């Protein structure tokens, strides 16, 4: 197993660490609160830990943080895109969105991605590495610090496939929702997956109450394979029962994401097939007009086509919304800010 840094450890593990350093276990509780409740950036700020303990920690477990490389702010709706540099120099992006009901952050779970979805900018350079739990948490902690506002909703829908980084994802969720940390309700956390069947089933067993979002994007295997290579590995006849199992175990309504790609998956027949496919499930469909990326020639469906698709689903009594596009005027879609940054850097060298 990879080595976990101190900000990725559970409270009990910090207590054990304190014992190994010759300290009282309750120091572990205090350290955990500094790291996750107050989310401070340095040991120097941890005033109830002795100077010698802080020194020892600084030496053995240097704290890492995220450095802001770039912030883009939408003039339309205030959405902010952050490009962060990790301690090893790689860059990731996170998005901060302001809604009436609270602030939402979309975080990355990996540096790059190996799932290869055809319309997605995040996967073009492949997977570099997994993010540690601390690096997922820090996206939220840093944004709260920078905006001075509390985050109430978290969606794991940025770069990466969260279920391809399963153990770190679970740690991240448990620490983020811990009442001794940020105490963010699990009901306000959504994890989006391209559909890794065994991991969906495992997630159902964790005893969590997070929302599962499945990137469906097609009404049958044939069309899904054209958009998402993962469809060659797991057919819909495996993916959808896994989702149904998730609902059965957690009671959480499922979300299906469906990116509408002009001429590919947006016909009335597609809508009809989709309705039949998911009609028996307790679910909600989120239609996303595809955000065209320059590396591919996919186009958005017209406004009318999108409306028709929605109406058709409604006729079949499917809950459906069209995702409001946030930050249209900034590099809005998944992975595009990071991609354009990496492209620029490559052109300079």
Ordered DSSP codes for 275-325? HHHHTTS-EEEEEEE----TTS---BPPHHHHHHHHHHHHHTT-EEEEPPP
Token code pair at residue 163: 């279920």
- Shortest distance, position 31 Cβ to ligand SAH, whole Å: 32
Distance, CA of 346 to CA of 349 (rounded, Å): 5
- Shortest distance, position 268 Cβ to ligand SAH, whole Å: 21
- Shortest distance, position 113 Cβ to ligand SAH, whole Å: 6
Q: Which is nearer to ligand SAH, 112 or 133 (CB)?
A: 112
Residues in contact with ligand SAH by CB under 6 A are: 115, 117, 119-120, 157, 161, 192-194, 215, 257, 259, 288, 290-291, 293, 333-334
Distance, CA of 310 to CA of 313 (rounded, Å): 5
Would you call 2 helix, strand, or coil by DSSP?
A: coil
Q: Which is nearer to ligand SAH, 93 or 257 (CB)?
A: 257
Q: Which is nearer to ligand SAH, 97 or 120 (CB)?
A: 120
113 among known catalytic residues: no
Q: Which is nearer to ligand SAH, 127 or 290 (CB)?
A: 290
- Shortest distance, position 109 Cβ to ligand SAH, whole Å: 7
Q: Which is nearer to ligand SAH, 215 or 301 (CB)?
A: 215
Catalytic residue among 117, 120, 194, 334: 334
Catalytic residue among 93, 135, 161, 257: 93
Distance, CA of 178 to CA of 190 (rounded, Å): 16
93 among known catalytic residues: yes
- Shortest distance, position 147 Cβ to ligand SAH, whole Å: 22
Distance, CA of 141 to CA of 267 (rounded, Å): 42
For residue 84, CA distances in Å to 21, 202, 251, 347 come to 33, 31, 35, 20
Q: What are phi and psi of 70, to 5 degrees?
A: -160, 145
HSE value, Cβ hemisphere, 13 Å, CA-based, for 188:
15
The catalytic residues are 93, 334
């Amino acid at each position: 197993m990879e080595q976990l840094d101190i900000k990725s450890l559970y409270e009990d593990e910090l207590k054990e660490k304190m014992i190994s350093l010759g300290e009282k276990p309750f120091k572990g509780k205090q350290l955990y609160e500094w790291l996750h409740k107050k989310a401070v950036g340095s040991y120097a700020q941890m005033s109830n830990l002795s100077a010698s303990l802080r020194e020892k920690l600084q030496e053995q477990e240097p704290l890492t943080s995220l450095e802001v490389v770039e912030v883009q702010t939408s003039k339309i709706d205030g959405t902010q895109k952050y490009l962060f540099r990790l301690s090893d120099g790689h860059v990731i992006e996170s998005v901060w969105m302001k809604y009436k009901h609270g602030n939402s952050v979309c975080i990355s779970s990996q540096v790059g991605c190996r799932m290869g979805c055809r319309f997605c900018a995040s996967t073009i350079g492949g997977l570099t590495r997994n993010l540690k739990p601390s690096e997922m948490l820090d996206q939220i902690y840093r944004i709260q610090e920078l905006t001075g506002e509390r985050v109430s909703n978290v969606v794991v829908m940025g770069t990466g496939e969260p279920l391809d980084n399963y153990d770190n994802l679970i740690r991240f969720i448990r620490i983020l929702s811990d009442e001794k940390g940020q105490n963010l309700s699990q009901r306000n956390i959504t994890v989006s997956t391209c559909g890794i069947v065994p991991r969906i089933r495992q997630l159902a067993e964790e005893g969590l109450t997070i929302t599962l979002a499945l990137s469906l994007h097609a009404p049958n295997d044939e069309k899904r394979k054209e958009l998402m290579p993962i469809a060659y590995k797991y057919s819909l006849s495996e993916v959808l029962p896994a989702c149904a199992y998730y609902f059965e175990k957690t009671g959480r309504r499922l979300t299906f994401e469906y990116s509408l790609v002009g001429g590919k998956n947006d016909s009335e027949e597609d809508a009809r097939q989709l309705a039949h496919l998911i009609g028996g499930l307790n679910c909600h469909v989120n239609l996303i007009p595809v955000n065209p990326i320059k590396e591919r020639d996919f186009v958005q469906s017209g406004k009318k086509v999108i409306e028709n698709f929605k109406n058709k689903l409604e006729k079949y009594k499917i809950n459906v919304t069209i995702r409001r596009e946030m930050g249209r005027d900034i590099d809005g879609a998944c992975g595009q800010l990071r991609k354009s940054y990496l492209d620029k850097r490559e052109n300079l060298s």
